[in-house]
Amino acid sequence: MLTKLRAFIQALNQADNNALHSDNSLQIACAVLLIEVMRADDQFEASEQKAIVTLLQQQFKLSINEANELLASATLFTEQATDFYQFTSKLNQHYSIEEKIKMVEMLWHVANADGKIAAVEQHTIRKIADLLNLRHHEYLKSKLNVIDKPTT
């Protein structure tokens, strides 16, 4: 019984590793980071989840079904993740500085989707921005780009 359980856990871990190294790994990495901001304050608002789906659709030109599937897959990763590094390192390998700034702006959109940014959400975004090697002024600019824009 214990052997079967270990084999099952190994198979799950292997599947996770394969997904992170697949063609859609950038999508998964972005989705995980967005979910982590949503989860940061332990309040799962429908507005934040809707914002994530919309952002994923726009960023990766996905249908609503594809974005929801990506959200579901990424949620599994967030439940097993111990840190952000495995996801931010993927973005660092493939994203330009402008794309990383846009990613942080997406994080701010999620944090602000419910109309208030909790301190823990701000802290989470700061940690992610640091791991994306953004300078402080780039982090602040990304926040101001989102927060100062009037909502329509």
The CATH number of 2-147 is which of 1.10.3680.10, 3.40.50.720, 3.40.30.10, 1.10.10.10?
A: 1.10.3680.10
Most confident of 3-7, 28-32, 72-76: 28-32
Q: Convert the pLDDT of each residue in 43-98 to its tens digit.
A: 878 999 999 999 999 999 999 999 999 999 999 888 888 889 999 999 999 999 99
When pLDDT is averaged across residues 15-36 and rounded to a whole number, the result is 74
Non-local CB neighbours of 25 within 8 Å, separated by 6+ positions:
19, 90
Q: What is the pTM of this model?
A: 0.81
Q: Of the candidates 73, 79, 42, 71, which has an alpha carbon nearest to the alpha carbon of residue 55?
A: 71
* pLDDT on residue 81: 83
At 139, the amino acid letter reads Y
Residue 132: both structure tokens together: 């994306």
